Amino acid sequence: MQSKYNYLITVGLVMVLVAAVFIGCPRDAEVTHEAADRVYIAPGDLDEFYAFMSGGFSGQVSVYGLPSGRLFKEIPVFSVKPEEGYGYELETKDLLMTSFGHIPWDDTHHPSLSLTDGIPDGRWLFINSNNTPRIARICLETFKTMEILEIPHSAGGHASPYATMNTEYLVSATRFSVPVPQADVPISTYKENFAGTLSFISVDDNGTMDLDFQLIVPGFNYDLASSGNGPSHGWMFFTSYNVEEAHTLLEVKASQFDKDFIAAVNWQRAQECIGDGQGRTKEAEYYHNVRNPDTFMSESTRKTSTTVLEPDNCPGVMYFLPTPKSPHGVDVDPSGEYIAAGGKLASVIPVHSFSRMLEAIENEAFEDHVNGIPVLDYEATIAGEVQDPGLGPLHTEFDNRGYGYTSAYISSEVVKWEIGTWEVVDRIPTYYSLGHIMVPGGNTMEPYGQYLVAMNKSSKDRYLPVGPKLPQGGQLIDISGDRMRMLLDFPLIGEPHYAQAIPAEKIQPNVKRLYDLHQNQHPNAVRDVTEARVVRDGNTVHVYMAAVRSHFAPDNIEGIHVGDEVYFHVTNIEEEWDIGHGFAILGDKNPNILLMPGETKSIVWKPDRPGIFPFYCTDFCSALHQEMQGYIRVSPEGAGTPLMYGTGDEMVTR
């Protein structure tokens, strides 16, 4: 068998080389001017869908419009963003707190829209970070990160967050198994000492996350997940690879067995077992960081324990479904009955049946047990195999007409197949090395089957070259007809792993235009220029500053000394749509802060030399934006310059 797969890989590589030889020849001959009409959004008109793309190693989420492919925004999530002050300003700094300290970066993977009855409801977007496992919640009224929860006892938080049908749970599974709890052991003791965890994170009505429980599972690499829908509600499916439990040269050693596993977890059963006292409390260290929408401030809480559950103590909580071969994606169809797996080294797409799985459990059709977890018979759960699905099948999305679409990495194509007959009905090449695909709603109970976005890992000659590091390429494909049609290329930020899309009308009416200044409960806000002031407390100076077209109040400050710690609490007291201000000081080691109307932000400045330090508005606000500036006088330590401040001709002395 092994030689067969080597053969497949070789063929794949040869195809890539052949493709490279033909670069420059006319491609996409089927793309016509008609495609332009499908994606052209006339100036002033709006897109049909919001698309949220993971930023991969950018650590962020980018927001695009579909079908135009226009980039609207990059939402800072796990990485600092000097452009707006995120992660530096006091209001957001604590969001990036972890048990390892403040981390300025991560690797975002899979966005997941909050669901009600299996359909995106437009309240929140969740996204995981892979490197230091965490899940973030983004509010879709403000497009701001409001919460980040760290996942303990895990490394490589890859199979995450994948909301359940009513956002009861998000999940996070271990991609890189480690000792649980962490320990100093020889790496070669992997099989004895390493374990994985499947974490279930509950979400309350306000969106607040809480780590409800963790299943302790064998030390495989848990890769991706998908929630049951409809009849399969209450179940969560995780793919795994490296059931060989290799700890080195995984590319070979983890590719030996014909089949790895899909782990099917009955989380309602887990809740019962924990309710019956089968769970136990385990020491842990992780951070839960929440931002208050009214005060703008974030607060970090250090947590010290979790509830863990061993599958041994809870029969029926978990089963393994053998699945060829190092499966990557696992995707439940809109009916909730079929579970498609993308075996990246497999020659077929196996599709399991949920109802057959239940029968197999009922009949105890087990072929083995691993750590006490029953392994179901492959033939007993399989509904069908899609033959000839392209090389390196990874991810499947569904439309609303009974078709699945699977990305094939090695053969760079999308393969369309029919549920039930398991026959491939169409295929379309993508450029190049296709990873994730996304049909708006394609992972939910009601897909919108007009478009498919292909997220390619490589773009090579698709754009004007910009040095060795090229953008990864999004491609929009029309899937509304019998044949798929290529419509558009558009470059993406970072590495686009998964994406989500939702009809614009589910979000647009709720998006905030500004923050209500009168509801601003930031402890250091000013609501009017008359409240602006400077207060000294020992070596700490607090500047309560107002920004309003086209000046700062105060805009002249004297009596600051070297060695002082100067807090600038700046409030944009505008109450008008799209009138932002920014704030930056000469030589400050912080980036600028951006302030939207009604918003307050704070930074700490530590002047280290005497002199005059201008500050200015960085966000073009008005006809006299260029005049929106001020000066701070810094005197040598101990000079005793009296504290004075003001705007206009009168200075206040303290």
Partner 1 sequence: MKLEKESRTLFAVAVVILILLYFLPIWRIDLKAPQYPEGIGLYILIDDIRGQERNNLLSVNRLNKYIGMQAIVPEEIPELQIMPFILGGVIVIGAVCWFTGRRKYLTGWIILLVIVGIAGLVDFYIWAYDYGTNLDPQAPIKVPGMTYIPPLIGTKQLLNITASSYPASGGVIAGLSGLLAISALYFDKRLKKKRAQ
Q: Half-sphere exposure of residue 433, counting CA atoms within 13 Å on the CB side?
A: 14
- CA–CA dist 446, 300 (Å, integer): 37
Tokens in use for 121?
A: 């409801």
**Closest listed residue to residue 408, CA positions, set 345, 497, 353, 330:** 345
Number of residues that bind partner 1 (CB under 8 A): 10
Does 549 participate in binding partner 1 (rule CB under 8 A)? yes
Only one of the segments 4-12, 280-288, 616-624, 630-638 lies at the binding site for partner 1 (rule: CB under 8 A); that segment is 616-624
Tokens in use for 374?
A: 């029953």
Instruction: Name the minimum Å distance from CB 619 to partner 1.
Output: 15
Only one of the segments 75-83, 327-335, 573-581, 586-594 lies at the binding site for partner 1 (rule: CB under 8 A); that segment is 573-581
Does 624 participate in binding partner 1 (rule CB under 8 A)? yes
> Is the Cβ of residue 377 or residue 575 nearer to partner 1 in the bound state?
575
Does 528 participate in binding partner 1 (rule CB under 8 A)? no
Tokens in use for 495?
A: 């590495």
3-state secondary structure 225-275: EEECCHHHCCEEEEEEECCCCCCCCHHHHCCCCCCEEEEEEEHHHHHHHHH
Q: Is 276 helix (H, G, I), strand (E, B) or coil?
A: coil
Cβ-based neighbours of 380, under 8 Å, separated by 6 or more:
356, 359, 360, 363, 365
Backbone angles phi, psi at 497, to 5 degrees: -80, -130
Planar angle of CA 453, 456, 459, nearest 5 degrees: 125
> Is the Cβ of residue 283 or residue 627 nearer to partner 1 in the bound state?
627
> Is the Cβ of residue 176 or residue 515 nearer to partner 1 in the bound state?
515
Only one of the segments 219-227, 265-273, 449-457, 622-630 lies at the binding site for partner 1 (rule: CB under 8 A); that segment is 622-630
Instruction: Name the minimum Å distance from CB 514 to partner 1.
Output: 9
Instruction: Name the minimum Å distance from CB 575 to partner 1.
Output: 4
Does 577 participate in binding partner 1 (rule CB under 8 A)? yes
- Asked whether the beta carbons of 148 and 87 are under 8 A apart, the reply is no
Instruction: Name the minimum Å distance from CB 610 to partner 1.
Output: 33
Residues numbered 415 to 434 that lie near partner 1 (CB under 8 A) are: none
- Asked whether the beta carbons of 189 and 245 are under 8 A apart, the reply is no
Of 151, 548, 570, 628, the residue at the interface with partner 1 (CB under 8 A) is 548
Instruction: Name the minimum Å distance from CB 516 to partner 1.
Output: 9
- CA–CA dist 51, 34 (Å, integer): 23
For every residue of 35-98, DSSP letters joined together read: HHHHH---TT---SEEEEEE-BTT-SEEEEEETTTEEEEEE-SSS-BTTTTBTTSHHHHGGGEE
> Is the Cβ of residue 457 or residue 549 nearer to partner 1 in the bound state?
549
CB atoms closer than 10 angstroms to residue 441: 25
Instruction: Name the minimum Å distance from CB 629 to partner 1.
Output: 14
Does 576 participate in binding partner 1 (rule CB under 8 A)? yes
Of 575, 610, 641, 643, the residue at the interface with partner 1 (CB under 8 A) is 575
Instruction: Name the minimum Å distance from CB 549 to partner 1.
Output: 6
Instruction: Name the minimum Å distance from CB 628 to partner 1.
Output: 12
Does 651 participate in binding partner 1 (rule CB under 8 A)? no
Provide the pairing of β-strand 556-561 with 119-129: unpaired
> Is the Cβ of residue 43 or residue 481 nearer to partner 1 in the bound state?
43
Does 531 participate in binding partner 1 (rule CB under 8 A)? no
**Closest listed residue to residue 217, CA positions, set 236, 234, 185, 240:** 240
Provide the pairing of β-strand 348-353 with 338-343: antiparallel
- Structural Rg of the chain based on CA atoms: 27
Instruction: Name the minimum Å distance from CB 556 to partner 1.
Output: 18
Planar angle of CA 388, 394, 396, nearest 5 degrees: 85
- CA–CA dist 160, 439 (Å, integer): 19
Binding letters toward partner 1, positions 52-91, x by CB under 8 A: ----------------------------------------
> Is the Cβ of residue 349 or residue 628 nearer to partner 1 in the bound state?
628
> Is the Cβ of residue 636 or residue 648 nearer to partner 1 in the bound state?
648
- Asked whether the beta carbons of 575 and 597 are under 8 A apart, the reply is yes
Q: At CB < 8 A and 24+ separation, what contacts does 576-582 make?
A: 576/514, 577/513, 577/514, 578/513, 579/549, 579/621, 579/622, 580/619, 580/621, 581/547, 581/548, 581/617, 581/619, 581/621, 581/628, 582/617, 582/618, 582/619
> Is the Cβ of residue 194 or residue 515 nearer to partner 1 in the bound state?
515
> Is the Cβ of residue 278 or residue 622 nearer to partner 1 in the bound state?
622
> Is the Cβ of residue 345 or residue 525 nearer to partner 1 in the bound state?
525
Cβ-based neighbours of 75, under 8 Å, separated by 6 or more:
60, 61, 62, 63, 138, 143, 144, 145
Only one of the segments 20-28, 286-294, 560-568, 569-577 lies at the binding site for partner 1 (rule: CB under 8 A); that segment is 569-577
Residues numbered 308 to 337 that lie near partner 1 (CB under 8 A) are: none
Of 204, 509, 623, 650, the residue at the interface with partner 1 (CB under 8 A) is 623
Only one of the segments 68-76, 271-279, 574-582, 612-620 lies at the binding site for partner 1 (rule: CB under 8 A); that segment is 574-582
Only one of the segments 25-33, 237-245, 442-450, 568-576 lies at the binding site for partner 1 (rule: CB under 8 A); that segment is 568-576
CB atoms closer than 10 angstroms to residue 255: 21
Only one of the segments 199-207, 236-244, 312-320, 618-626 lies at the binding site for partner 1 (rule: CB under 8 A); that segment is 618-626
Instruction: Name the minimum Å distance from CB 552 to partner 1.
Output: 15
Does 294 participate in binding partner 1 (rule CB under 8 A)? no
Tokens in use for 229?
A: 């829908």
Only one of the segments 219-227, 319-327, 572-580, 633-641 lies at the binding site for partner 1 (rule: CB under 8 A); that segment is 572-580
> Is the Cβ of residue 47 or residue 574 nearer to partner 1 in the bound state?
574
3-state secondary structure 513-561: CCCCHHHCCCCCCCCCHHHCEEEEECCEEEEEEEEECCEEECCEEEEEE
Instruction: Name the minimum Å distance from CB 551 to partner 1.
Output: 11
Only one of the segments 114-122, 269-277, 600-608, 620-628 lies at the binding site for partner 1 (rule: CB under 8 A); that segment is 620-628
Only one of the segments 29-37, 88-96, 294-302, 621-629 lies at the binding site for partner 1 (rule: CB under 8 A); that segment is 621-629
Return residues touching partner 1 (CB under 8 A): 548-549, 574-577, 622-624, 627
